Every structure is written in structure tokens, then in C-alpha cells.
Amino acid sequence: MPLLPNEQIESFTKENPEWMWSDSEITRTYEFEDFNEAMGFVTRVALEAEKANHHPDIDIRWNKVTLTLSTHSEGGLTENDLDLATIADGLV
């Protein structure tokens, strides 16, 4: 899958300002009521990531979950990353 042009990434982050773009990845931190809600979200993301065969880096800090998306095999962002970001946002 080809890397995305900067303009497409900029457009995505303007439409989804919770996602931060840095170099070859996008990152978002979600905050939940408690650890159980955070883990429920992680489980839902994991199931969707497995279906897509595209797996985010996940950092869990009690009620906060940070997702970092990048297509490591391509060395940057692809459509898969934006798709999974959109799916994750829909799981909240």
C-alpha cells in the first residue's frame, strides 16, 4: 500500500483534530471513566485491528489509552492507518 501524500494526512488531522501527526505516525489519546472502560475499548480496537490485519501501538495508563498508527512495512502512513483511526473513533 502506498504512502499517503502530506496533503491527505493534513486534511485528515484538520477533520479529526484529536489525532496528532508527527513524522511517520498519527497518535491519539482517549480518556475513559476508569480502567475497565479503557480495557473494553482496547479489546474492541484489538478485534477490529485483527480483522484489518493492521495493528496499532497501544499504550494503556489506567483510564487513558494512546493509539499510535503507522504502517511500519511502508515506513509511514497509508490508507490503512486512517481507516483504523476512523474505526477506533467510532468505538468510543
Secondary structure class of 19 (helix, strand, coil) = coil
Q: What does DSSP assign to residue 1?
A: -
Phi-psi sector, 53: left (phi>0), alpha (psi -120 to 50), beta: left
Q: Is residue 12 part of a domain?
A: yes
- Which CATH number characterizes residue 51's domain? 3.30.1360.20
Q: Is residue 37 part of a domain?
A: yes
Q: What percent of the chain has pLDDT over 70?
A: 100
Q: Is residue 44 part of a domain?
A: yes
pLDDT, tens digit (0-9, with 9 covering 90-100), for 39-76? 999 999 999 999 999 999 999 999 999 999 999 999 99
Q: Is residue 22 part of a domain?
A: no
Q: Is residue 32 part of a domain?
A: yes
Task: Give the count of domains, the chain.
Answer: 1
* pTM of the shown model: 0.94
Q: Is residue 21 part of a domain?
A: no
Confidence class for position 6, pLDDT limits 50, 70, 90: very high
Q: Please give the pLDDT value at position 92.
A: 94
pLDDT, tens digit (0-9, with 9 covering 90-100), for 15-42? 999 999 998 999 999 999 999 999 999 9
Q: Is residue 23 part of a domain?
A: no
